[in-house]
């Protein structure tokens, strides 16, 4: 993504995407909040090391801006999903340790060595392919070992991991990290959390001498027994609530505003949008907004005759999205706003300023993760420090 910034060694506000006057809206990302969120998590888990998950373009917030911010905050270890993302992090944080969560793909060994990234091994077959590369290349960068303790997604079984532990008796075993992943850490009452902590504790005894990691964002707010040697927050860094149902301990990071293109009258009984899915039950005024599912607004977010819809902020007042959301547009019912309070060219708030990320996601029937990672590239972007 292109960016413009002043020439200074100090952090500065940067801009990206189309110019503000040419865009349908403005996305503001608070890098200072990301910095503070990382430092708050670091203090919470001391003396455990706090890493950072920056996959999916740092959860949609911009890897080029977020990784240097986290580095300034003291982060030395990063987790990504793909090798291509590891290359990005390496260019931005040359001295960091980088783990690739999706593991090793045959034929990519040279690229791992060049990037000096560590694959997280997720299966016995993958381990065999990695071993072959190491033996034929002499690469000594190491790898992570992922043990599945209950997610049933990626990872070696408990028995497979126990067999791998025999390597610990060799001088050059090549393992740098043992990790697992919580399935339900955002629900502290779920018994699977304790089961996973117990299983991981039992297996990590066999891997004394290398670092261990279990806790994600939610895990950081469970019992300290989940901390191990390294925690891996993701969503919490970007303002998502790691403790659903409780006040969010993290600072909000994003604010999203979109432009009013037109304010129009709709007669009682008139339909709005595709499939005439919303019918005006009174004479109404509708603001047409320059944002749609092509910009990451969930199509299910609008009010139809069968769904409640979600709120946006218009001049500080909550109003409902109505009718089907289309690729580039959506409609907002502003009937109860005073005449003249909503005009063409105004910006309304979709996320932020009293509309928290997680509330917006819940109203749309999705998660903050999905909203963040789908943030559109057609918005003008501001990264403030």
93 neighbors 64 (Cβ within 8 angstroms): no
Closest C-alpha to 313, from 360, 281, 280: 360
Which of 224, 246, 268, 274 is catalytic? The answer is 274
Among all chains, which residue has been given the structure tokens 């339909």?
Answer: 271
Burial of residue 191 (CB within 10 Å: 0-12, 13-18, 19+) is: exposed
31 neighbors 11 (Cβ within 8 angstroms): yes
User: In the chain, what's the furthest Cα-to-Cα distance?
Assistant: 79
Query: How many whole angstroms separate alpha carbon 59 and alpha carbon 53?
Result: 9
Asked if the peptide bond before residue 47 counts as cis, ω within 30 degrees of 0, the response is: yes
Query: How many whole angstroms separate alpha carbon 313 and alpha carbon 287?
Result: 12
Tell me the backbone φ, ψ of residue 144, rounded to 5 degrees: -105, 155
Per-residue HEC secondary structure of 109-145 comes to: HHHHHHHCCEEEECCHHHHHHHHHHHHHHCCCCCEEE
383 neighbors 14 (Cβ within 8 angstroms): yes
- Catalytic site residue 55? yes
The dihedral through the CA atoms of 320, 323, 326, 330 has a sign that is: negative
What Rg, from alpha-carbon coordinates, does the chain have? 24
Query: How many whole angstroms separate alpha carbon 13 and alpha carbon 337?
Result: 34
Which of 55, 59, 238, 293 is catalytic? The answer is 55
For residues 341-354, one letter each, b for 16 or more C-beta atoms within 10 angstroms of the residue's C-beta and e for the rest, the string is: ebeeebbbbbbbee
Query: How many whole angstroms separate alpha carbon 44 and alpha carbon 153?
Result: 29
Strand, helix or coil for residue 60: coil
* Structure token digits, residue 169: 């008796």
Residues belonging to the active site: 55, 274
């Amino acid at each position: 993504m292109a960016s413009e910034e002043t020439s200074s060694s100090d952090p500065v506000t940067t801009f990206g995407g189309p110019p503000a006057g040419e865009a349908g809206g403005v996305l503001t990302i608070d890098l200072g909040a990301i910095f503070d969120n990382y430092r708050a998590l670091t203090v919470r888990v001391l003396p455990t090391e706090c890493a950072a998950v920056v996959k999916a373009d740092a959860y949609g917030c911009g890897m080029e801006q977020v990784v240097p911010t986290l580095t300034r905050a003291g982060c030395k270890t990063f987790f990504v999903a793909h090798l291509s993302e590891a290359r990005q992090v390496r260019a931005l944080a040359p001295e960091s340790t980088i783990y690739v969560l999706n593991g090793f793909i045959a034929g990519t060994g040279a690229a791992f060595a060049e990037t000096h990234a560590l694959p997280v091994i997720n299966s016995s077959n993958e381990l065999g392919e990695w071993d072959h590369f190491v033996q034929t290349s002499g690469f000594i960068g190491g790898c992570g070992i992922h043990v599945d303790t209950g997610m049933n997604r990626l990872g070696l079984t408990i028995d497979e991991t126990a067999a791998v532990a025999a390597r610990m008796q060799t001088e050059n075993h090549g393992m740098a990290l043992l990790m697992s992943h919580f399935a339900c850490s955002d629900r502290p009452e779920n018994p699977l959390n304790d089961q996973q902590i117990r299983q991981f504790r039992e297996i990590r005894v066999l891997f004394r001498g290398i670092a261990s990691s279990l806790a994600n964002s939610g895990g950081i707010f469970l019992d300290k027994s989940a901390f191990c040697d390294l925690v891996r927050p993701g969503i919490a860094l970007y303002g998502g609530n790691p403790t659903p149902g409780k006040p969010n301990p993290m600072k909000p990071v994003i604010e999203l505003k979109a432009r009013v293109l037109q304010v129009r009258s709709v007669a009682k009984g008139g339909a709005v949008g595709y499939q005439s899915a919303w019918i005006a039950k009174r004479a109404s005024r509708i603001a047409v907004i320059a944002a749609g599912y092509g910009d990451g607004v969930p199509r299910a977010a609008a009010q139809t005759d069968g769904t409640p819809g979600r709120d946006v902020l218009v001049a500080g007042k909550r109003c409902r999205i109505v009718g089907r959301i289309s690729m580039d547009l959506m409609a907002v019912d502003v009937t109860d706003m005073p005449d003249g309070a909503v005009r063409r060219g105004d910006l309304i708030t979709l996320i932020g300023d009293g509309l928290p990320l997680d509330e917006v996601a819940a109203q749309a029937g999705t998660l903050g993760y999905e909203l963040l990672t789908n943030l559109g590239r057609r918005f003008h972007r501001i990264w403030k420090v």
